[in-house]
Structure 1
Amino acid sequence: MTTEVLKTDDFANGGVSFWYRETGLPTARAPLPGTREYDVCIVGGGFTGLWTAYYLKQARPDMRIAILEKEFAGFGASGRNGGWLSAEMAGSRERYARAHGRDAVVALQRAMFDGVDEVARVAAEEGIVADIVKGGVLHVATNPAQRRRLHAGLAESRRWGFAEDDLRLLDRGEREDRLRVAGALDALHSPHCARVQPARLVQGLARAVAGLGVDIFESTAVTEIRPRGRAGEPAAAVTGRGTVRAEYVIRATEGFTAGIAGQRRQWLPMNSSMIVTEPLGEEIWKDIGWPGAELLGDEAHAYVYAQRTADGRIAIGGRGIPYRFGSRWDQWGATQPQTVAALWRMLGKLFPTAADARVDHAWCGVLGVPRDWCSTVHLDHDSGLGWAGGYVGNGVTTTNLAGRTLRDLLLHEETELTRLPWVDRRVRRWEPEPLRWIGVHLIYTLYRAADRRENHRLARTSNYARLAGLISGR
């Protein structure tokens, strides 16, 4: 590969994402026309906010619901992610189990399995064509240290009671029949994952939500969220275009949470980047395989994630610059040439026959990371405030589970969902700057160093990675 392919005039960079290049940016909805009153106000028009409104409005058609979105519905991670509709969830099973017990954690994982099918069901019911193919997910090990972690993950899954129907080791023949990854030593397959074109899904969901009678106000930035007042004042979302007062205000801002007053240290906006190739030729696909459109991940510490798109490209992502000082983010998704180069090198390593294909588009976005790296759903009936998020890059399915759980909490219903162990989980805030910036960059410097050592045939997990894990608190 030569550096010429990385010139900025050779590929699209930013513009939100390649997914929106396929669909076109949506026509803007009207902003908030002034101060209004609703039963429920949702701040953030991504998957979390849309799923919450969808299920809540279906359960209570007469409920007045508003969504306030700074840009347009699906502008953030919901329209920029890797297209993994997976049952993987942020957080340690052991950490959840210490507080709630083993059975609750198994129930949470089963709810995530079901969530993959629930998203596909709603998409079919609402006529949302989002390239959904449930081929499962492959996790591949490409060096001995990764192989040990992969087998340890399988053993852990068995200890939690998950059977071969949920996760299994492939023999070499089946692995290569599915997908030929250069240097692969082993691979695990789980059926609980589907490929999706995320912009098509989020835009279709937004149309369905609006069709139910939910008011979606775009170009409306919320600067402050206020709890109920002592004199009976309702909760409120404050914007430059007016204030929305409501019985409940739900914060569904994920990686953009730091932009709301008082929330800068709540969830860290972690940056993730992607590239997509031009459509690949028949000879390349004959060499790679990939007929089942499985999602692909590896066991590296600074991991990659990939999919075969519906039109025959490879989209691959990973960490670029992991964090910007002061919890800032790049609004429109432009990413750095060195990040594109790093992802392209990884693409060529995994699929050598695709190494000469052109990069067609690069982009980035932010995802929300809590201090303990565990997702959460919360609602306080006294203050009227609630939230969901902290998905750490596993949000496409988790947002659906969050939306259904928030529906039950808002309706004061005690259900299997409201008893799941991620409900009402609270953790400490992130450290102030510059400790936050130093810590995150140190973590990923250590992870990358660990990957380099392991790629040079260190047969166990590098101590650099263990140190990064201690610093991160994962």
Structure 2
Amino acid sequence: MEESLSGARPQTFWLDPSVPGHEAPEAAPPVGGESAADLAVVGGGYAGLWTALLAKERDPGRDVVLIEARTCGWAASGRNGGFCSSSLTHGFGNGAERWPGEIAALERMGRENLDGIEEAVRRYGIDCEFERTGEMAVATEYWQLEELEEEAAALEGLGLAPEVLTASQVRAEVDSPTYVGGTIDRSACAMVHPAKLARGLRAACLRLGVRIHENSPVRSVRPSRGGLRLAGDGGAVTARRTAWATGPFPGPLRRLRHFVAPVYDYALATEPLTAEQKASIGWKGRQGIGDAANLFHYYRLTADDRILWGGHDVVYRYGGRIRPEHDQRPQTFRRLAENFFTTFPQLEGVRFGHSWGGVIDTCSRFCAFFGTAYQGRLAYTAGYTGLGAGATRFGAQVLLDRLEGADTERTRLSMVRGKPIPFPPEPARYAGIGLTLRATAAADRDRGRRNLWLRTLDRFGMGFNS
């Protein structure tokens, strides 16, 4: 196992410029001097890029500026697994538990949103290796299979068509001795190259006339006669309306710090598989895969037949600290590698080419939340909890609806109107998250049984996941 990791580059595979096709575009100029705009978008990840793009689609004459602290797609949008899911609620089960009266509409809008992403990728010619492969959930314990079957039955009740698979049927799709069954939804997820999606959205924004400023952290937000003045190190932009989409980096919008916990997620990518290695596991459908444990793994094939293998560990640093040195965690990479070879023993000898980590903006309800500030002149979203590759486009529509004062089906959703329960201050936050993660791991070892702590969190609509 140690040998398999010995040559791994400590860098995100998707952002590694030494990989052909991964070269980054030249950075846009930073903010300089004083300027004005109709709409300012703060944050150059998926949420901000979709907001800027859709704002120009709604009104081509609107003057839109996007301000990014580093470069577009450098954080979670360029480091994730590339699962572009239709779920807006971090899975059907989470949404059905929290908003049972709206889950049918949420599932419908989520699938419409994924269709919209596919259409935009086609229309703007975004080369992001988009594959509408679907996603397979695999059970490695029989208690997990029972839960998957119950969820599939509930989805069928909404007119959707997930398939329940026996152990032999799952292994016919992807061969692992650990699988005891599973489910597959062949239309509810697409695989993408996440960094190429972010960069493609950036290019589309520029073509539509969005002004982009990179390497321009916003240090302060102040009311101004022209709206809100967003000031940084080299200048400021004053905008009539502002969309705030900074994920786990709240910056001067301090209210977000109560709702968002930045947690680290880690991943490995193998070297490209040989034809013989790939034949030993099958995977002809190229679908994304996630196991059904509480602390789960997610994995998929890249365009050049590497296996990206991530998840399981969730790491919160005291005070929500985000540091470059936290992107590497050798003990997590060893655990991931061990679990990889348990899942695919026939791939013994495969080596990992890349290892990396990054922060996810999670919240106590596991999925996006929304709000406004400064008398409605600013709208914000955060909390996507690892499913931002798809759900951020929906979130961008919500932000624009809110800023335009529009009454839409989206803005009437309880999910959109409500907020998650805030996390407590430190040190209670750190202790509570640690206790929750230990209890969640214990539930995986005990046939999914949730102890008193987890049941109490369930009762109050709180929890913790990635």
Q: Compute the TM-score of the two structures, normalised by the length of structure 2.
A: 0.91
2:170 is aligned with what amino acid?
A: R
1:80 is displaced (CA, Å) by 0.6
8 Å contact kept, 2:226–2:239? no
Partner of 2:227: 234
Q: 1:356 aligns with which of 349, 352, 361?
A: 349
Distance 1:95 1:64 in 2: 41
Q: For residues 172-321 of structure 1, what are the structure 2 equivalents within 5 Å?
A: 172-191=167-186, 192-226=188-222, 228=223, 232=225, 234-257=227-250, 260-261=253-254, 263-320=256-313
Distance 1:368 1:43 in 2: 16
8 Å contact kept, 1:13–1:333? no
1:369 is displaced (CA, Å) by 1.5
Partner of 1:411: 404
1:259 is displaced (CA, Å) by 6.7
Change over 3 Å in CA distance of 1:444–1:137 after alignment to 2: same
> Which digits, 9 at most, give the CA deviation of each residue in 1:155-179, with x for residues without a partner?
4434xx33452x2202445423321
8 Å contact kept, 1:225–1:261? no
1:379 is displaced (CA, Å) by 4.1
8 Å contact kept, 1:258–1:268? no
1:385 is displaced (CA, Å) by 1.3
Distance 1:259 1:409 in 2: 21
Partner of 1:326: 319
Distance 1:164 1:58 in 2: 31
1:284 is aligned with what amino acid?
A: Q
The CA RMSD over aligned residues, in Å, is 2.2
1:414 is displaced (CA, Å) by 2.7
- In the TM superposition, structure 1's runs of 4+ consecutive aligned residues that sit over 6 Å from their partners are none
Q: Name the % identity.
A: 29
1:425 is displaced (CA, Å) by 2.2
Runs (5+) with no aligned partner, structure 1: 455-459
1:313 is aligned with what amino acid?
A: R
Partner of 1:457: none
Distance 2:252 2:146 in 1: 41
Runs (5+) with no aligned partner, structure 2: none
8 Å contact kept, 1:13–1:361? yes
Partner of 2:60: 61
**3-state SS of the aligned residue for 2:415?**
coil
8 Å contact kept, 1:168–1:188? yes
How many residues get paired?
452
Q: 1:13 aligns with which of 3, 7, 10?
A: 10
1:377 equivalent in alignment to 2:370: yes
Distance 2:254 2:404 in 1: 28
Partner of 1:110: 108
8 Å contact kept, 2:376–2:403? no
**3-state SS of the aligned residue for 1:342?**
helix
Distance 1:442 1:26 in 2: 43
Q: Compute the TM-score of the two structures, normalised by the length of structure 1.
A: 0.89
Distance 1:258 1:149 in 2: 40
8 Å contact kept, 1:258–1:266? no
Partner of 2:133: 135
1:236 is displaced (CA, Å) by 2.8
Q: 1:450 aligns with which of 440, 443, 450?
A: 443
1:366 equivalent in alignment to 2:359: yes
Distance 2:391 2:124 in 1: 20
**3-state SS of the aligned residue for 1:30?**
coil
> Which digits, 9 at most, give the CA deviation of each residue in 1:310-348, with x for residues without a partner?
101100111435111111123487321111111111211
> Which digits, 9 at most, give the CA deviation of each residue in 1:55-76, with x for residues without a partner?
1111111111111111100111
Distance 1:442 1:358 in 2: 34
Partner of 1:467: 453
2:41 is aligned with what amino acid?
A: I
